[in-house]
Homo-oligomer: A and B are copies of this chain.
Amino acid sequence: MEEIKILEATLRETVESCLADNRYVQIRNLLQDMNHVDIEALLAELAPDKTLRIFRMLPKEIAAEVFAEMDSDMQQYIIESITDSEVVRIMDEMYMDDTVDFIEEMPANVVKRVLRNTDEATRKTINQLLRYPEDSAGSLMTTEYVDLKKAMTAGEALEHIRKTGVDKETINNCYVVSVRQELEGVVSIRTLILSAPDTKVADLMDTQVKCICTLDDQERSVYLFRKYDLLSMPVVDQENRLVGIITIDDVMDVMEQENTEDFHKMAAITPSEAPYLKTGVFTLAKNRVMWLMVLMISATFTGFIIRHFEGALGKMVVLTTYIPMLMGTAGNAGAQSSTMIIRSLALNELEFSDLLKVIWKEFRVGATTAALLTIVNFARIILFDQVTLWVAVTVCLSLFCIVCLAKVVGGMLPILAERIHLDPVLMASPIITTILDALSLLIYFELATSILGIA
């Protein structure tokens, strides 16, 4: 990774010095063999005016690909700096899903200018795609797919692909539709090539197509792509008419995005899509403060419990020293269980009917770990702390009960949450910890007052 950094820095310097001396041919030669992702990475490091100068040198297909990779600030700057005919060229080359992603981020005046420079049909498609709800399959799809008819032969199908394929996002899977555009089957380019040219598409196609509806949640597409190892999937409307396809590159992005969301939610942060360094201080604070506030106020209940037992604590202040250890261990034990269960739910490995199995398993795991922790803790207290045997017994018995309880509660709550259609991630460590803090203290103080006879 270090070497790549150095190479990139060298390349950037070379390009900048070429720009300074107007050695355009040399720049063009440099860029010629580069991947569009790498060109975008290079441009992102340059000043906007230099980016623009280089961008205008790119051949139109590459320009469109580089443009689709750019962040929206740079896209806006470019659109505002180039001529109408250049806008037309880029829009013509971009795939519809990238176009829509780009337009969604632009201010109204830029959107107007872009739409003015696209033809009637494209404008209609864009407007239609913009109407799909965020996170729906429709908002993820593109409209550039290969469609075939059942009556074609493999040879005719390949000929059709040769004629129309250049503008399609993928030709690896071709979709067979009826005259009314209803989805009838799928046939891969592999099958078409490996079959005898006179075989009918009807005999080659797979009629059990895994497809998704425009309004389905995009998470469902992640699930289907993973389950069936798909490269692309057709999207149909309510009348089963093919309206677009989703490709795997977009699904991978959704997958990482959903995972990031889960990580953030599990740390009690309102999720946001923007990368950390591009998010302002105020937004970051806003995304975090709400949950901190809720948790802080919940924690005051724990304070009430302590206050309730203030008399007992006053008589035996040494009990206070074990509070952080007990609360910490409860929180950690519960977080382990809830995290495992939340993740299993996300991967569809668990469902509500497994609830009892999970509770029983967590109870046994809890008892096993609790036993070990209790033994170690008892030895530590007896050896190092100057307390009576009965204090040690109280602390250890509390520890045992608390860990068992934490495991069961941590395993149970995410499943119950999903049952009542709440996001199971809500039951991640911050909430679990807060609940368990209160429960642990109750157990600890109840045991202390009965065993040690203080009140």
Contacts and interface: CB of A to CB of B under 8 A. Distances in A.
Nearest to A300: B325
A125 interface: no
Contacts of A420: none
Given A171-B190, A291-B332, A328-B302, A296 B373 contact: yes
A273 to B, nearest CB: 12
Contact of A171 (B193, B259, B281, B332): B193
A252 B193 CA distance: 27
Interface in A312-362: 313-314, 317-318, 320-325, 327-329, 331-333, 335-336, 338-344, 347, 349-350, 354, 357-358, 361
Interface string A62-102: 00000000000000000000000000000000000000000
A369 B288 contact: yes
Contacts of A403: 292
A150 to B, nearest CB: 16
A268 B267 CA distance: 14
A214 interface: no
Contact of A162 (B161, B194, B331): B194
Contact of A332 (B292, B341, B350): B292
Interface residues of A, number: 111
A170 B323 CA distance: 59
A285 B367 CA distance: 9
B231 A231 contact: yes
A451 interface: no
A80 to B, nearest CB: 27
Contact of A349 (B226, B276, B284): B276
A438 B199 CA distance: 74
A324 B433 CA distance: 11
A328 B289 contact: no
Contact of A296 (B231, B264, B285, B377): B377
A350 B275 CA distance: 9
B281 A299 contact: no
Given A285-B368, A295-B329, 4 more contacts: A293-B376, A296-B329, A299-B324, A310-B320
